[in-house]
A and B are shown apart, each in its own frame.
Chain A
Amino acid sequence: MTRSFRLQLLAVLVFLLAVASPLSAQFNLVAQVNGQTAAVGNGGTVTFDAPAVGQTVTATLTVTYLGAGTAQFPGAVQILGSSAFSAGQTGSAVSLTTFQSTTVTVVYTAATSASASAALSWPYNQVTGTTTVATGVINIALLGVAPNPVLGQIPSGGGFTPVPPGGSFSFPNTVVNTTSSISAAIANSGTGPLTINSITLTGTGFAAPSLPLLPFTLAAGAQLSFTLQFSPTAAGSAQGSLQVSYASGSSSATLSGTGLTSLLGYQLSASGQTSSLNPGQAITLPATVTGAVSSVGIRLQNTNNTSVLVSSIAVTGGGYSLSGTPALPLTLAPNQTANFTVNFTPSQAGTYSGQLLVGSDIFPLSVTVALLPSFQFTGASGTQQPFQQPAIGLSLASAYPATIAGTLTIVDSASNAVNDPSVQFSTSGRTVAFTIPANTLQAIFPGGSTQIRLQTGTVAGTFIVVPDFTVGSPPVNVTPPNVPTLQLSVPPGSPVLLGATISGRTLTTITLSINGYDTTRSVNKLAFQLTPASGSTLSKTTVNLDVTANSQTFFSSALGLAGGGQFTVIIPFTLSQSGSSTTTDLTKNLSAISVTSANPTGSSNTLTVQIP
């Protein structure tokens, strides 16, 4: 093709363009914004995606004149509409020849996450030579958008609960070494896309196991959900944080959770005392003895604000059993309780281990079955004198792990001829209670003393102090067979005179009252020695009485049996003097009377009564 032809062709093309092309075809508009470049038709729209509220987006509009002649822009670019947009250009008056370009900068600053609209208007004149052949306006619609990230939680029932800045995600109480989960989400409530660069968790036990690939662009109105997990390894409160960073800005919230050893609270009742109990804590049943069941009470309580399912309650270990367990499975409402008893039935002495299992909660069990240790009596033993009040006690050879309740009982030997009712403990009767506090040795009697006195009485014979022992409540008799006893014996002996008084007196009679005791209850003789007063003589100064029959009658009577070997003998002595008047006090002839008693064993002491 020749040069002239090309020029002619070009002129034709230009002519055609000038004549045939519409106004929009006079310019080529290219917008470069948010890192992307695209052609924009006159009257088209350029969208500004702010990364966040408060951030700016700058668009560069390249205007290239394609028409003939010159496109003259006599004025500045005008932005009509939202003040969020502003424009700048190179020079206030621009003149473009064919294929010549200029750029216009438009800046959008997102004041809110709501969209903002404006219009770019730039009038021009198409000039050929000096003649304006056409006028027009470049009109570009401007649209500004921005995202609004909202961090929130998706409840189990659905929906979306925003977590405000500084807020927290709370996990339910979680048993140690288990995992609880909650659903979190990032919602974009703005008008522009949201770029999520990272989601980070801190804090022991907190994790987000299923995050999407990041960075992630979340469209306006869309929501990105993900799972948060709490897996405590120790009981107690735990804190962490969730941080989400965006293309611009970030969100954060705290994470909180509480690790529990169990979803259930436990109480232990043992030996009359109640205490709290935690899974893993050992339960020691009260020490017991063979044949005595040892038991403790267990109370469960749901300490959460949601129901808890108890699926199983069981014990392991020989001898252990449960009683009073509720029907299973059991659903405990908040604060609801349930009770049952753990029992141990021993067969022989030893220490026994087991386990109580309530769901996944485990409690080691132990119990000690102890034999009653040997013991010894303390204080008086063996032969005792009559009419005495010795003290006895009881002491274990080694301490016992439980409180022992016991009694001492005085029992007459089968060989005793009579039962002396005065043989009693100071506390009255022939039985006295005692306790031996756990882990001590001495028996404690009423009044707090470690000894108790008893009366040996006044009858020859043997009596046996028999102990018995119980443990626990209700009491279980743990007295060993052939239990050692204490033997006390009162030997037979001569009578003992305790006192003699003048119980009656007339002019001719003096009545003596003599008190004494005879352990053989066989007084057979009373011997009296009369001492005359000075200047007086008595024809008879010795009086011996055989009282065998009367003594036997008395000691076999109810009165005699009531006194054991004790007696009171009343003997009137009548004096006579030949020739004396009836008004003569003949008793003045006596100054004293001495008395001695005897039984087949021997003679008593002598008592002398002065005659005033």
Chain B
Amino acid sequence: MAAAQTTSWAAPSGGFVFDSSARAIRPITGFVGSGVFGTAILSGIDWAAIAPNQKSALVSQNSALVWIPDLNTPAQSQSLGWIPDATRAIWSADSTRAVVVTRTSVLWLAVSNQSVSLEAQWHLSGVRTEWGLMAADSAAKSVLLVAQTRPGRTSFRTSLWFAAEATSPVPVAFAGHASAAVFANNSSSIFIADAVTDQIFRVDQPQTQSTAQAVLNSSSYVSDASGLILSSDDSRIFITDRATSQIGQFDASTGGLITSIATDAGVGSAMLFAPGLFLLDPAQSNQPFMFFNLTNPTQVIFLPRGN
């Protein structure tokens, strides 16, 4: 026999957003599409990566990494002090894994309801080299790292590196200036936007240093690309732009422009927020947050920034 017990009614919540300009995690009151930002639940944050389940988050505060299992009770956090100098983290789509980059390492974490454990780690070396995490696949098992090396006082060079739990970092055969990247959903390919040549390149076997191939060329949409998003079947690639209020939708195989989707402001970055929904950080602090919904119909939804 099945019996329904008393219903309880709760405030509708659209999830949580890290507002980098406010250095705070802010809840969304209401659902995306009719939501507003609520009062910050946590402030003074260096950076934060919120899991797609909108429940937990990895947060760097005063240069110390902590894990918050439930953002509804942010005070209950667990210190991850054994991961010093963390600069960025990306979650897997199912929120069970996260990859973290520090100044000297890339680490893979398994996250459960109760704990965070280390699954793999690679040391990142290089004299006068700063490492960054550019993209991860949907399982957060493969990552694309960017290394910026300063051989001289005024010169620097940038290189891309592929790493996975079982694969130590190897250089990616890409000679351009990567401004955004995304892993394919259904293959090991990586799509990389080159801000110098205004092209999107595809690297099919990054772990074998296969040559990058240009798949599309667009000075209008690639020159100031801030994020790449792939449809679930990898057939369409969406390019967000920092300067213009447009998202270009391209055919990933032919490189042809399908359509242009208007946004409410320039986009600073794009990241997975929830299945089929991407959070578009505004390029400027006084502009609204936006969400890019890949489900039918594809649309941009704004979220008023509030005070």
Question: Footprint of B on A, CB under 8 Å?
Answer: 386-389, 421-422, 424-429, 446-447, 449, 453, 455-458, 498, 515, 517, 526, 528, 530, 538-540, 543, 545, 547, 550-551, 553-554, 559-560, 562-564, 566-577, 590
Contact = CB atoms under 8 A, between A and B. Distances in A.
Most B CB atoms within 10 A — which of A429, A455, A553, A567?
A455
B216 interface: no
Given A543-B2, A566-B34, A572-B5, 15 more contacts: A387-B33, A422-B34, A428-B307, A447-B265, A455-B34, A517-B34, A545-B7, A550-B9, A562-B11, A562-B30, A564-B30, A568-B11, A568-B12, A569-B8, A571-B5
Contacts of A574: 2-5
A567 B12 contact: yes
Interface stretch (B90-98, B146-154, B297-305): B297-305
Nearest to B287: A447
B132 interface: no
B29 A543 contact: no
Given A447-B265, A566-B31, A576-B1, A427 B9 contact: no
Nearest to B264: A426
A575 B2 contact: yes
B36 interface: yes
A573 B2 contact: yes
A427 B2 contact: no
A530 B2 CA distance: 9
Interface of B: 1-13, 29-31, 33-36, 38, 245, 264-265, 286-288, 301-302, 304-307
Contacts of B9: 550-551, 553-554, 559-560, 567-570
A276 B191 CA distance: 59
A431 to B, nearest CB: 12
Contact of A426 (B1, B33, B302): B302
A446 B13 CA distance: 28
Contact of B304 (A455, A456, A590): A455
Nearest to A589: B2
Given A428-B305, A564-B34, A577-B1, A570 B8 contact: yes
Q: Which of B9, B29, B38, B245 has the most CB of A within 10 A?
A: B9
Of the candidates B3, B10, B12, the one having the most CB atoms from chain A within 10 angstroms of its own CB is B12
B34 A543 contact: no
A539 B288 CA distance: 51
B227 to A, nearest CB: 18
Nearest to A449: B245
B284 to A, nearest CB: 9
Per CB-CB distance, the 4 closest pairs between chain A and chain B, nearest first, are A554-B9, A566-B12, A559-B11, A428-B304
Contacts of A428: 288, 304-307
Contacts of A386: 34
A148 B301 CA distance: 100
Contacts of A571: 4-5, 7-8
11 contacts: A387-B34, A388-B33, A422-B35, A427-B304, A428-B306, A447-B265, A538-B2, A562-B38, A567-B10, A568-B11, A571-B4
A362 to B, nearest CB: 50
Nearest to B290: A426
B264 A526 contact: no
Nearest to A544: B4
B7 A547 contact: yes
Contacts of A550: 6-9
Nearest to A425: B304
B287 to A, nearest CB: 7
Given A455-B304, A563-B12, A573 B7 contact: no
Contacts of A564: 30, 34
A540 B31 CA distance: 33
Contacts of A576: 1-3
A590 B30 contact: no
A424 to B, nearest CB: 5
Contacts of B7: 526, 545, 547, 550, 569-571
Contacts of A458: 30, 34
Contact of A575 (B1, B6, B8, B34): B1
B302 A389 contact: yes
Contact of A538 (B1, B10, B35, B302): B1
A573 B4 contact: yes
B302 A545 contact: no
Contacts of A540: 1-3
Given A389-B301, A566-B34, A539 B1 contact: yes
A457 B245 CA distance: 24
Nearest to A566: B12
Contacts of B286: 446
Contacts of B36: 421-422, 424
A389 B2 contact: no
A568 B10 CA distance: 5
Contact of B30 (A427, A530, A563): A563
B5, B264, B286: residue with the most chain A Cβ atoms closer than 10 Å: B264
Of the candidates B1, B286, B302, B304, the one having the most CB atoms from chain A within 10 angstroms of its own CB is B304
Contacts of A554: 9
A563 B35 CA distance: 8
A594 to B, nearest CB: 13
Nearest to A421: B36
Q: Which of B6, B10, B288 has the most CB of A within 10 A?
A: B10
Given A562-B11, A567-B9, A568-B10, A424 B304 contact: yes
A559 B5 contact: no
Nearest to B302: A426
A288 to B, nearest CB: 32
A506 to B, nearest CB: 12
A453 B302 contact: yes
A172 B6 CA distance: 103
Nearest to A456: B34
Contacts of A575: 1-3
A568 B1 CA distance: 25
Contacts of B301: 389
A426 B304 contact: yes
B288 A515 contact: no
A60 to B, nearest CB: 102
A562 B38 CA distance: 10
Contact of A573 (B3, B245, B287, B288): B3
A257 B304 CA distance: 70
